[in-house]
Amino acid sequence: MRFQDKIVLATGVATGLGRITAELFAREGAKLVVVDYNEAALGALVESLREKGTAVAAVVGDVSLPEVAEQAVARAEAKFGRLDILLNNAGINPVGNIVDTPVDVWDRTIAVNLRSAFLFSSKSIPLMERGGGGTIVTTASIASFKASTAEAAYSVSKAGLLQLTKVIAKDFAARGIRANAVCPGFLPTYMADRKQGASEEQQAMRRKRAAELVPMGREGTYEEIADIIAFLASEQSSYMNGAAITADGAQTV
């Protein structure tokens, strides 16, 4: 198994892509520290993982706060003694262009999507270094380099994640740290904050739109993206550093 006894810290894992990826890490032998604001859903994930024999610790909190990142890294060190892999997956996706977007929504999007990745990366790297190195994988988006209509704050935050990935890779490569990103296109549902207010009809319209815009004629699956994340986190990608893998069914080709 690729992650036998590896220690993984992952944010935004209570639902969706994050949950699928956490379950993949667990199946391949990882020990996990999982972080999310959704206490009930996170608790359900932890219970499920423990029932299957996975060693896991949970931190409930706002990923944009320094104290939450510090707590999560401290939990990894206290429980497992080191940290091998960080997955920056937490994110929100409000609707609006720069005129429509209130300042508080803009700031919150940047905080959850970009600031959290900075915080968790900056707090994780010293512990990784003490253990001989580590790998950071960040969930970006095709919106990182292709502006999305009426998703201004989201697009800007995701663009920032690509540059964050690159500066980490360049600054810490000699210290045994790798940083890479995955850039998905259409996935099965809206992100959790959008899905809450989306009807079945709206989600069906999204699937139809994906079929029209994506040359492969469909959305991607969480499992497909989780496989890429696992590849980037593993030694199979050992010479990749500062890279971004696009997974969008040729939408941006």
**Domain extents in the chain:** 7-185+221-246, 189-219
The pLDDT profile of the chain, 253 residues, written as one tens digit per residue, is 999 999 999 999 999 999 999 999 999 999 999 999 999 999 999 999 999 999 999 999 999 999 999 999 999 999 999 999 999 999 999 999 999 999 999 999 999 999 999 999 999 999 999 999 999 999 999 999 999 899 999 999 999 999 999 999 999 999 999 999 999 999 986 554 444 556 788 778 888 888 899 999 999 999 999 999 999 999 999 999 999 999 999 999 9
Helices (H) and strands (E) in the chain, counts: 9, 7
Is the domain spanning 7-185+221-246 CATH 3.40.50.720? The answer is yes
The helix (run of H) or strand (run of E) holding residue 34 is strand 31-36
Question: How far lies 19's CA from each of 116, 142, 207, in Å?
Answer: 18, 21, 21
The residues annotated with a catalytic role in the active site are: 154
Count the neighbouring beta carbons within 10 Å of the beta carbon of residue 10: 27
Q: How much is the pTM?
A: 0.95
Count the neighbouring beta carbons within 10 Å of the beta carbon of residue 19: 24
Phi, psi of 139 (to 5 degrees): -85, 105
How many CA atoms are closer than 13 Å to the CA of 190, on its beta-carbon side? 21
